[in-house]
């Protein structure tokens, strides 16, 4: 079971969370302008990365708030947790391996960016 660090409530069991799939998939600015192919891409095509992946989680049995996370889809390790609406952090994007980062360059707490969040 994953231990997920909810930015508002702290680390909780995976069973308290709902998975929201790929993060940063914006609703099309003008849906009527899309071709069938583009509409299919929006509805049915999602990235399926092997390695670091930006995804959404909701603490559905806790504070019920959504947040973004960067997680490795092979090791299942979380490298970053950041608020909805914030761009994907660069550090996680550039890093090839979660474990490699931890050894080489200590990262800020994964919930950095949630200053003032009640824990």
Number of residues that bind another protein (CB under 8 A): 27
Alpha helix segments (H runs only) across the chain: 36-44, 90-94, 98-104
Q: For residue 27, what are its two tokens?
A: 């609703």
Burial of 67 (0-12, 13-18, 19+ CB in 10 A): buried
45 is a contact residue toward another protein (CB under 8 A): yes
Q: Which positions from 53 through 112 interact with another protein, judged by CB under 8 A?
A: 53, 55, 71, 73-76
Smaller CB distance to another protein: residue 76 or 112?
A: 76
Q: How far is the CB of 76 from another protein (least distance, A)?
A: 6
- Tokens representing 83? 């608020």
Sign of the Cα pseudo-torsion (27, 94, 89, 68, in order) = positive
Cβ 22 vs Cβ 46: under 8 Å: yes
Closest approach of another protein to the CB of residue 83, in Å:
20
Least distance from another protein to the Cβ atom of residue 116, Å:
28
Q: Which of 29, 48, 94, 106 binds another protein (CB under 8 A)?
A: 48
List, in sequence order, every residue forming a beta bridge with 68; answer none if it has no partner. 56, 82
Q: Which of 37, 85, 106, 116 binds another protein (CB under 8 A)?
A: 37
Q: Which residues bind another protein (CB under 8 A)?
A: 1-2, 13-15, 18-19, 21, 36-37, 39-41, 43-46, 48-50, 53, 55, 71, 73-76
């Amino acid at each position: 079971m994953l231990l997920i660090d909810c930015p508002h409530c702290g680390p909780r069991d995976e069973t308290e969370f709902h998975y929201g799939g790929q993060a940063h998939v914006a609703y099309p600015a003008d849906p009527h302008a899309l071709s069938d192919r583009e509409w299919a891409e929006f509805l049915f095509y999602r990235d399926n990365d092997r390695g670091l992946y930006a995804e959404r989680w909701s603490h559905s049995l806790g504070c019920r708030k959504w947040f973004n996370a960067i997680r490795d889809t092979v090791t299942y390790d979380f490298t970053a947790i950041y608020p909805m609406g914030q761009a994907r952090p660069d550090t996680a994007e550039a890093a090839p391996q979660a474990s490699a980062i931890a050894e080489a360059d200590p990262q800020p707490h994964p919930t950095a960016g949630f200053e003032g969040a009640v824990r």
